Structure 1
Amino acid sequence: MQNVSLRPMGIGRILDRSFQLYRKHFLVLTLIMLILYGPFYLLQHLLTYQETAMTSGSILEQIRNGGSLEDMFGPNSTFLQNDPASRGEGYLWRTLTLVLVLFPIMMLGLMPASIASVVHLVKASLYGEETPGVGQLLRKSFARFWPLAGSTFLFGLIVIGIYLGMAIIVGIFAIIFAVGGSLSNAAGGFGGGALAFTIVFFAALGLGSLFTFAYFVIRWGYCLPIVALGEESVGIGRSWGLTRKSFWRLFGMYVVLTLILYLFLIVVQLIVAAVFGLGLGAQLLQSLISILVMSLWFLPYAVSFFDLKVRNEGLGLQSLIDSTIPEAANEHIQIPIDLDKKND
């Protein structure tokens, strides 16, 4: 392994480094994503393409004809008339297969394996090691399959618990305000000032819930790279320590990344739908495009993980010392002992 000095990076540098790695290792990353997610997307579309085409087609038809939002989503719209109860038993079995079989496979198997592969690739690049091939990366990832799956499952339970907690809090306040509004109306009316306060309160509550949810997800969300590298079996507690004092920087990075990628994907999907329609082939093409850019979701996550290790654990510090004092590196001299001798 070559000695390289790793230094802390800001949001722009992390994203720039991620896009550089994407261009440099595009073929390897694409093959990994195709191997892992290609069969999943194919099965998903075989199960749901008819319903997707029917729903999306009705909305696009309304847009072409200049339809209003009421035409598209009103009580008489095709979108709402195609309810699950009217689609037969086959639709129910397809939905159950998707939710109970394919979705758990993707969340507990494919996603952790793809993240682990990207982490190993980024590690090799940052450390100046030889770039592993697709087979090597997949073997390294699946060698930690059960710890990765277990950590993902535990993290998922935590996320669901946080989400339910936020939903319960919002629901309690909604009930309180609903009861208070009813009592106010009975007593003499619900004034405009009270209505404005209610709107502002729930807007603040919604934003507060969003930031609270994002805070805990980010603070505990870096457990997978730790497990993938074999440093710990779970890594949730270690993730909390790594992300200390880094929430807002990481949150800003994910906001920027989400805006860039979602805007790109929405534009591309609209173009594909307009040119190729909404059949199975068009849906598979949209999924292929999503697979091509999927590693861009994981690369900033992996790069920022190593940035956190630099900031909190001194990763790269020894390499920096060795490059600054080559005699100490070559002769394996301990610097503190040498200073003691000099003082004597």
Structure 2
Amino acid sequence: MDEKFSRPKGFGQILDHTFGLSKRHFKDFFLILLVFLGPIYLLQAFIQLVSGVSFFREVGAGETWFEQMVMSFGETENASLAADLGIALVGLVTIFVAPVATAAIMFAIDHLRKGEDYTVGSVIKQAFSRYWPMLGSTILFCLIAFGLFVVPVILVTIAGVVGAIVFPIVGIILAIVLFLGFAVGIGLLLTRWSFYFGAVIFEEETPGLSRSWKLTKGRTWVLFGLFIIFSLIITVISTTLELTFGMLLGNSVLLSLIISAASIFTTMIFTVGYAVMYFDLKIRNDADDLKEMIGEYHTPQI
């Protein structure tokens, strides 16, 4: 077993291991995601072209260069119904292929953890072997997350409106407090259930929610913090690229492709981080390193 996987890691060590793996195996991980997400992003770009968006540089109405760039985003948002439906279709397809790409990267990291060789094709094949359980579990998790978000939004809205009618300042403060409370509570709950995916593909437990709840016991706040850090990294990279290239290209197809490439990169980092966190939880709960060493000790030497 790789030494870095054989011992529990702290907050900073998980981040360091994540970026180290992403750097050393960038080509394989990026290629896996490109195989599944690349065609989807190309289809999205094609839909934009057909709907009349310029490929290299999209400008809108305005007297100055800055006004033209800003207006281009507003004008291209008023796309045709066909383009909107096409983009919605792209999003729907992503739901069905993204779990396979995630599983393939996790299988690759599992091979690295065990010191085994692998190919991109072999880990993709492994991922498809658990396709239906992980798809069903992912849909269930998304439905739970949707329900957890919708109900608090309704409650916060009602409380804010009622409070604003009675006493505006109190209504605003109440809405903010409730929003922050629900946000943290929901985040912690989803963190407890979020490692269902690893349980589904490695332990063949479906839907894996109870297994995830057991794995994350005592580590919820640390994991929640790591998810926040990864989300901030993704947001900063995406926002920086969109603002930088958006000022040069407007809301063009080329900008969309650049953002898509950045999305593949940030998805790779998040997926690797998720895998590192999952295997760290396994080490803490199941003592996988001891099991492996015992197995190697009892294996006859030839």
Q: Same fold (TM over 0.5)?
A: yes
> 1:97 pairs with 86, 92, 96, which one?
86
Query: 2:155 maps to which residue?
Result: 169
CA contact (8 A) 1:117 1:141 kept: yes
Query: 1:185 maps to which residue?
Result: none
CA contact (8 A) 1:58 1:78 kept: yes
How many angstroms apart in 1 are the aligned matches of 2:201 and 2:152? 30
How many angstroms apart in 1 are the aligned matches of 2:234 and 2:131? 28
Query: 1:152 maps to which residue?
Result: 138
Query: 2:113 maps to which residue?
Result: 126
For residues 53 and 197 of structure 1, do their structure 2 counterparts lie closer, same or farther at Cα, with a shift above 3 Å needed?
A: farther
For residues 167 and 293 of structure 1, do their structure 2 counterparts lie closer, same or farther at Cα, with a shift above 3 Å needed?
A: closer
TM-superposed deviation, 1:25? 1.0
CA contact (8 A) 2:137 2:197 kept: yes
Query: 1:270 maps to which residue?
Result: 243
CA contact (8 A) 2:103 2:127 kept: yes
How many angstroms apart in 2 are the aligned matches of 1:138 and 1:66? 44
Determine if the alignment matches structure 1 residue 279 to structure 2 residue 252: yes
Q: Name the Cα RMSD after superposition.
A: 3.2
Query: 2:102 maps to which residue?
Result: 115
Query: 2:125 maps to which residue?
Result: 139
CA contact (8 A) 2:193 2:212 kept: yes
Provide TM-score, normalisation by structure 1. Answer: 0.75
Query: 2:233 maps to which residue?
Result: 260
Q: Which runs of 5+ in 1 are unaligned?
A: 182-194, 333-344
**Paired residues, what number?**
296
Code of the residue aligned with 2:87 in structure 1: it is L
Code of the residue aligned with 1:102 in structure 2: it is V
How many angstroms apart in 2 are the aligned matches of 1:26 and 1:205? 41
For residues 201 and 63 of structure 1, do their structure 2 counterparts lie closer, same or farther at Cα, with a shift above 3 Å needed?
A: farther
> 2:194 pairs with 221, 237, 241, which one?
221
Q: Secondary structure at the match of 2:20?
A: helix
How many angstroms apart in 2 are the aligned matches of 1:160 and 1:61? 44
1:221-252 deviation line (CA, Å, top 9, x unaligned) = 11111112242121111111111121110111
TM-superposed deviation, 1:277? 4.5
For residues 103 and 331 of structure 1, do their structure 2 counterparts lie closer, same or farther at Cα, with a shift above 3 Å needed?
A: closer
For residues 79 and 103 of structure 1, do their structure 2 counterparts lie closer, same or farther at Cα, with a shift above 3 Å needed?
A: closer
CA contact (8 A) 1:3 1:319 kept: no
TM-superposed deviation, 1:59? 10
Range moving further from structure 2, 115-124 or 286-295: 286-295
CA contact (8 A) 1:144 1:230 kept: no
CA contact (8 A) 1:115 1:225 kept: no
- Aligned-pair identity in percent equals 28
Q: Secondary structure at the match of 2:288?
A: coil
1:50-75 deviation line (CA, Å, top 9, x unaligned) = 58779x855998882599xxxx7xxx
TM-superposed deviation, 1:127? 2.0
How many angstroms apart in 2 are the aligned matches of 1:291 and 1:61? 36
Q: Secondary structure at the match of 1:244?
A: coil
TM-superposed deviation, 1:261? 2.8
TM-superposed deviation, 1:292? 3.2
Give runs of aligned pairs for residues 1-344 of structure 1, distance below 5 A.
Answer: 2=1, 6-48=6-48, 57-58=59-60, 64=66, 84=78, 91-99=80-88, 101-107=89-95, 109-130=96-117, 132-181=118-167, 195-319=168-292, 322=294, 329-330=297-298
**Higher Cα Rg, which structure:** 1
For residues 169 and 19 of structure 1, do their structure 2 counterparts lie closer, same or farther at Cα, with a shift above 3 Å needed?
A: same
How many angstroms apart in 2 are the aligned matches of 1:83 and 1:65? 16
1:35-63 deviation line (CA, Å, top 9, x unaligned) = 10001111122224658779x85599888
Code of the residue aligned with 1:95 in structure 2: it is D
How many angstroms apart in 2 are the aligned matches of 1:305 and 1:82? 41
1:147-185 deviation line (CA, Å, top 9, x unaligned) = 11111111111111111111121123124214424xxxx
CA contact (8 A) 1:117 1:138 kept: yes
Q: Secondary structure at the match of 2:87?
A: helix
